[in-house]
Amino acid sequence: GENVEQHPSTLSVQEGDSAVIKCTYSDSASNYFPWYKQELGKGPQLIIDIRSNVGEKKDQRIAVTLNKTAKHFSLHITETQPEDSAVYFCAASRPSNTGKLIFGQGTTLQVKP
């Protein structure tokens, strides 16, 4: 079945450095790739998403890149701040699934002041 692999499982960076989280997906028909941020004790929050018709999308300090040929996509956070510390999840969906998402295993990001 459809599978999404996420790496690394934990990531520790110094405040101000960049962080990169990578995901690979198995279903070549997938066309929607969101990223969620989950803070302790809360539900996941959508922070950015990308569709298969674009290769990159930016929103202030975060960006997502997509390589359809290699079937992988990445989250880039620049100028990290302590409040970026959280668990990040990637996900993928194919057009026929009407919003049904397959999630990666999550990455715990720690930003050290």
Interaction of residue 1 with other proteins, rule CB under 8 A? yes
Q: Which is nearer to other proteins, 6 or 80 (CB)?
A: 6
CB of 60 to other proteins, least distance (A): 19
How big is the site for other proteins, counted in residues (CB under 8 A)?
23
Task: Give just the sign of the alpha carbon dihedral 92, 98, 99, 100.
Answer: negative
Q: Which is nearer to other proteins, 102 or 109 (CB)?
A: 102
Interaction of residue 96 with other proteins, rule CB under 8 A? no
Taking the C-alpha atoms of residue 110 and residue 13, their distance in angstroms, rounded to an integer, is 6
Q: Which is nearer to other proteins, 6 or 85 (CB)?
A: 6
What amino acid is encoded at 20 in this protein? V
3-state secondary structure of 49: strand
Interaction of residue 100 with other proteins, rule CB under 8 A? yes
Among candidate residues 85, 74, 106, the one with its CA nearest the CA of residue 12: 85
Interaction of residue 73 with other proteins, rule CB under 8 A? no
Taking the C-alpha atoms of residue 25 and residue 5, their distance in angstroms, rounded to an integer, is 6
- Note the residues at the interface with other proteins (CB under 8 A): 1, 6, 32, 34, 36, 41-46, 49, 89, 93, 98-106
